[in-house]
Amino acid sequence: MLDLTYEPPAPKVIQGARDDWELVIGLEVHAQVASAAKLFSGASTLFGAEPNANVAFVDAGMPGMLPVINEGCVALAVKTGLGLKAAINLTSAFDRKNYFYPDLPQGYQISQLYHPIVGEGEVIVDMAPGIARRVRIERIHLEQDAGKSIHDMDPALSFVDLNRTGVALMEIVSRPDIRGPEEAAAYVLKLRQIMRYLGTCNGDMQNGNLRADVNVSVCRPGDYERYQESGDFAHLGTRCEIKNMNSTRFIQAAIEVEARRQIAILEDGGTVVQETRLFDPDKSETRSMRSKEEAHDYRYFPDPDLLPLEIEQAWVDDIATSLPELPDEKKARFVLDYGMTEYDADVLTAEVENAAYFEQVAQVSGDGKASANWVINELFGQLKKDDRDIGDSPLSAAQLGRIVALIRAGDISGKIAKDLFEIVYLEGGDPEAIVDERGMRQVTDTGAIEAAVDDVIAANPAQVEKARANPKLAGWFVGQVMKATGGKANPAAVNRIVQDRLGL
Amino acid sequence: MSIDAETARKVAKLARIRVEEDELSALAGEFNTILGFIEQLQTVDVEGVEPMTSVTPQRLKRRADTVTDGDRQAAVLANAPDAREGFFAVPKVVE
């Protein structure tokens, strides 16, 4: 496998009133499985339906209804595990997590506490070229999502929509390997990227397809290394869990605010209490969810409605052969095969659609490095200006590939190529045909360029004198010739002939 | 393990089952009887014995990932004490 080497980033250090402090962070990411139907029912997972339209009687917790597992969800969880280089457990089992809430009609969530489907894996979180954090994954388990309560439609009532109830989630649990707010955000984005490559979670954070609970504690410099050597959590501080965040910006802000809160308590001689907290972005503070504490007695037990989930190694192997090239490998290949920088490779592999587009441009043009520049600088710039995605780019990869090929063949200059790019982007059409129709082809015919140079020299005797005295002024002639030829003359040829004719 | 009236109160609350104050100690007694029976079971040596999850050998039944259900809002809401605009309406739950 292709691999880029990397160094770990330095941990973030926060200066308290007295001391320096470091952060220790672990995340539980809830990723909605990209299945058509729910985990245990045949109701749709589609977002935006009429309230309670995507609900089967199983989801509504009707008496006598039994859950039947969706094999597609299992396959997607396995695929995610394989994508995170994790161990797949051929036997896993479902447990009931019991609590009462109006949007949980069963009175329990079906989850996998004791025997998750996926075991230990890892994610490489890139922070800068050559700098990355390896974050270990502890486990991934399958579980049901809850419904949605709406509190602002009536002063005395809460409105409950069960459309999301029973939708499959993967809870991805990391080890406390993350050492700063930026790393936490980058970790979530990397998970999202990998799952989007795999097609196992669409990662739409705004619609809650990806949510994170963040465990934060603080320690003094050196303590984390002592924990790593001994495996003893006593070297680390007491952690608090910040619940349910669906934006990387909030995750970063919440970690920062929570760490500072804990540092202030510790420097005041107090102790941090382990608890669940909520982040309030408006007030930029976290606050305790004491109301939830008592409910934390979940009384887990194996779900008697469901036999253990047993899958076969051959089935897992089949899924493994269907894995696409993943971001890390793709990035390494782009750097090695196309000679681009790691930074450019990062940009191009961020979304799998961008990478595929680029590769088609490179294939058509036969020039990977130039294709990377054109995709990143010209196309992405223009798409961003127009608020478009690569998916609805008016310029196809084949069209852009042919534009780059025209530059490569010396048929058009880089400057003309920008005009051509704009024409094809706005009006469409075949780049070669446009070049011919509009006479944009670069003039490489030395005779024609010589004639143009001679005309300019003949018309400007005073400038000729000056240029002979000061060769730097030759550039003025090159500019005049380019202007006279409508930008179509090959600049290198013009330069050479100007120098020659002026006797420089 | 011994269950007192206080633990019985907590268990009843977690299960959202209303138990009158004067019934709590009797309930605790019943719990203790059940737990005593379980303690008896726990004396059996099951070292190396796989938990039996089914009487006959069975594989967990699976469904394909296709939408086969839903679009029955009226039926889903039919037994709700209160439903409005397609939602279940419940007494206000405030976080």
Predicted confidence at residue A1, as pLDDT, reads 42
Q: Average model confidence (pLDDT) for chain A?
A: 93
Ranking A104-108, A247-251, B49-53 by mean pLDDT, the lowest is B49-53
| H or E stretch at A497 | helix A491-502
Measured between beta carbons, which residues in chain B are less than 8 angstroms from residue A159? 84-85, 87-90
CA gap A256, A270 in Å, rounded: 19
Q: How many CB pairs under 8 A join A and B?
A: 130
Provide CB contacts within 8 A for A400, sequence distance 6+.
A361, A364, A365, A371, A374, A375, A379, A421, A424
Whether residue A291 lies within 8 A of chain B, CB to CB, comes out as: yes
| Residue A8 within a domain | no
One domain for residues A430 and A458: no
Q: How many structural domains does chain A have?
A: 3
| Residue A27 within a domain | yes
Beta-sheet pairing, A95-98 with A301-302: antiparallel
Whether residue A410 lies within 8 A of chain B, CB to CB, comes out as: no
Q: Using the beta-carbon criterion (under 8 Å), do A68 and B61 form an inter-chain contact?
A: yes
One domain for residues A42 and A162: yes
Query: Does the domain spanning B5-42 belong to CATH 1.10.20?
Result: yes
| Residue A101 within a domain | yes
Check which CATH number belongs to the domain holding A493 and give it.
1.10.10
CA gap A250, A254 in Å, rounded: 6
One domain for residues A243 and A198: yes
Q: Using the beta-carbon criterion (under 8 Å), do B53 and A308 form an inter-chain contact?
A: yes
Q: Average model confidence (pLDDT) for chain B?
A: 92
One domain for residues A44 and A192: yes
One domain for residues A364 and A477: no
Buried-state track A122-131, b at ≥16 Cβ within 10 A, e below 16? ebbbbbeeee
Strand partners, A97: A109
Among B10, B86, B95, select the one facing A291 at the smallest CB separation.
B95
Summarised one tens digit per residue, pLDDT across range A403-432 is 999 999 888 888 889 999 999 999 999 999
**Per-window interface: B 13-52 vs A, CB < 8 A:** 14, 16
Beta-sheet pairing, A276-280 with A285-288: antiparallel
pLDDT at A293 over 60: no
One domain for residues A190 and A52: yes
**Per-window interface: B 67-86 vs A, CB < 8 A:** 67-73, 75-77, 82, 84-86
CA-based nearest distance A72→chain B, Å: 5
Which is more confidently placed, A295 or B85?
B85
What are the DSSP calls for A472-495, one per residue?
Answer: GGHHHHHHHHHHHTTT-B-HHHHH
Domain boundaries, position A108: 13-316
Q: Determine contact, residues A333/A349, Cβ cutoff 8 Å.
A: no
CA gap A21, A41 in Å, rounded: 48
Read off the amino acid at residue B84: R
Whether residue A199 lies within 8 A of chain B, CB to CB, comes out as: no
CA gap A65, A60 in Å, rounded: 9
| Residue A1 within a domain | no
Task: Point out the domain boundary residue: A316, A348, A371.
Answer: A316
One domain for residues A238 and A305: yes
Residue A479 structure tokens: 């500019």
Query: Domains of chain B: which residue ranges?
Result: 5-42
Measured between beta carbons, which residues in chain A are less than 8 angstroms from residue B91? 156-158
Residue B72 structure tokens: 């029955």
ipTM here: 0.90
| Residue A3 within a domain | no
B62 burial level (CB within 10 Å; 0-12, 13-18, 19+) = middle
| Residue A2 within a domain | no
Residue A464 — pLDDT band, cuts 50, 70, 90? confident
Measured between beta carbons, which residues in chain A are less than 8 angstroms from residue B14? 98, 297, 299
